[in-house]
Structure 1
Amino acid sequence: MNAKQLSMFNDIDEKEVQDLIITELRNYRALKVQIENKKEQEAAGVIDLFPSVRQQDRLNELKVKQIDRALEHSLDFIERRIIEMKYLTSEETKDINIYLELGLKKGKYYEKKRAAIYRLATALGII
């Protein structure tokens, strides 16, 4: 995505958008685990296994559903693989390893990564 394409997003700080999406994606992993743990506790008939400082179960479930939908429906296959490999694994993966594994040239990789971040930001209503 080049500067001309980004011009339709007037006065948007690209770095701020990227940071917001990356933060949400990293939190998404933990929220998915939280939801799975909650379901497991409910299935076992256990309530409040761990103390909770804040009650945001509904908001967290909604966030996970909407991020799931955005990942599934707003990205093409390569964009989704980039996001999964870069942000949705517990291992820190370097960009070079991702674009080599996907068989992409460096420039094309960064173009697809940037496009994926902006598509997610749009789908989630961040921009």
Structure 2
Amino acid sequence: MLAEQLSFLSNVNEREVRKLVIRELKDYRALKVQIENKNERVSAGVNLFPSLRNSHVINELKVKQIERALNDSLDEEELLIIKKKYLTSIKTKDIEIYLELGFKKDTYYEVKNRAINRIATALGII
């Protein structure tokens, strides 16, 4: 039954989806800092750095949409895994996260993959 319901959806390359979502999550950290820095400069009335491209509007929109995807489409466990794995400057191995959270290995990867797919869906990637 489920296979029949999903048959109208085109196949997606799970590896490509995962790679794209992970790249966007890692870029999100830098974009968020960029926006905070820009807001500080604007409020101080100074321009410290030259801007080689005018992408502030697009970057602000990306940050808003990624934040919405994280906060509104993930449950607590999914969000916790994504934050620990991709939204910190500390490189953390999966085994460290699932041991810390008390998950079994299979359960951890299931929740992590589900979170990545939900983010991809919320952002319109799939």
TM-score, scaled to structure 1: 0.92
Hey, what's the Cα distance between the residues in 2 that align with 1:112 and 1:9? Answer: 22
Structure 2 match to 1:41: 41
1:9 to partner: Cα distance: 4.8
Query: Which residue identity lines up with residue 13 of structure 1 in the other structure?
Result: N
Structure 2 match to 1:58: 57
Structure 2 match to 1:100: 99
Structure 2 match to 1:21: 21
Q: Does 1:111 align with 2:110?
A: yes
Identity %, equivalent residues: 64
Alignment of 1:4-19 (within 5 A): 9-19=9-19
TM-score, scaled to structure 2: 0.93
Name segments (4+ residues, structure 1) moved above 4 Å: 6-9
1:95 to partner: Cα distance: 0.1
Hey, what's the Cα distance between the residues in 1 that align with 2:104 and 2:44? Answer: 49
Structure 2 match to 1:82: 81
Query: Which residue identity lines up with residue 30 of structure 1 in the other structure?
Result: A
For structure 1, the residue ranges without an aligned partner over 5 or more in a row are: none
- Does the C-alpha gap of structure 1 residues 7 and 105 become closer, same or farther in structure 2, counting only changes over 3 Å? farther
1:7 to partner: Cα distance: 6.9
Hey, what's the Cα distance between the residues in 2 that align with 1:7 and 1:22? Answer: 27
For structure 2, the residue ranges without an aligned partner over 5 or more in a row are: none
String of CA shifts for 1:10-46, please: whole Å, max 9, x gaps.
3200000000000000000000000000000011111
String of CA shifts for 1:60-96, please: whole Å, max 9, x gaps.
0000000000000000000000000000000100000
Structure with the larger RCO, 1 or 2 (CA within 8 Å, 6+ apart)? 1
* Partner SS state of residue 52, structure 2: coil
Size of the aligned set, in residue pairs, is 124
